Amino acid sequence: MSNQPYKVLLTDAERFPPSEEDMKTLSAIGAELVGIPYGAKEEELVEICKDIDAVLVFAAKITARVIENMQRCRIIARCGIGYDNIDIGAAADRRIPVTFVPDYCIEEVSDHTIGLMIDCLRKISFSNERVKRRYWDNYEQLGTMRRIAGQTVGLVGFGRIAQAIARKLSGFNMRIVACDPFVDPAVMEAMGVARVDFDELIRSANVVSLHLPLTPATRHCLNEKVFKQMKRGTIVINTSRGALIDERALIDSILSGHIAAAGLDVLETEPPDLENELVKLPQVVVTPHSAAYTEEALAENKQKAIAEIVRCFKGQALKNLVPGSVKHA
């Protein structure tokens, strides 16, 4: 082990401060933690990463330029499931492994997703806001509402979070369909979920919920053409990545009455502009990218990411490399 302490950078440090356990784990291997705040510019990241041995990444964008200027970094550990904010190709070119936490916040995000579904189906936030403004709406003023039992929920992507949603919805007497070419059909069958293709899901579902990574192929996968193919009165839920939805197309579909409501934990730009029309619509429930949050999940997330850094510094095999990553620095 080097006589000099390892330097580990924690991005978004004021939002996700290290716990005593985090510091104890790092101290045990002779590592010191350096923080950089949320919203750090690329130039700031370039400068600080020149002298860093490892990076714990939350929301910061670790671009090719940042990576190309790393002089001694041995691992980039993403604190979370998604890793679209890290240039994996650039890291591979520099032989820097990138890890993630694939089982982070499964319970939290699945709970939050179902909460948004029920909120939109039962118009809970809408009704609450109306009552607080001293309206006591009758059924006609509330508008169309449908029984939850018997509705079809379409899960676009059937990874761990979507599977948890299917398990939890099993008691609601809803029909659940899913599309995911990378999941064994037997997994869906065992859970009582009907396997369909994307087009059939879009046409048949009363609730469409997104559970996809953001890639060039999935960006704006819900767009004007797709919204028109949905049933009138469909509800859209997104707890994955904001850019999966063409927000202008969603706004227009809601204003036309074709899409009944949307429950969104993520937006294309976060935080949103104060004039963002989507956020202002009464049919839209928006939460501040908080679906993943509980004290328990956050603590586990950081500890699992830090454990990968410890393994790297000790020369041990890394457990959760992102697809396309190299195995060793």
Residue among 111, 139, 77, 129 nearest 318 (CA): 77
Q: Cα(73)–Cα(214) distance, rounded to whole angstroms? A: 26
Q: At 74, which amino acid appears?
A: R
Amino acid at 284: V
> Which residues are catalytically annotated?
241, 270, 289
- Tell me how far CA of residue 84 lies from CA of 160, 257, 296, 316, in angstroms: 18, 33, 24, 26
What amino acid occupies position 189? E
Taking the C-alpha atoms of residue 45 and residue 63, their distance in angstroms, rounded to an integer, is 9
Identity of the amino acid at 310: V
Taking alpha carbons only, the member of 102, 94, 86 closest to residue 45 is 86
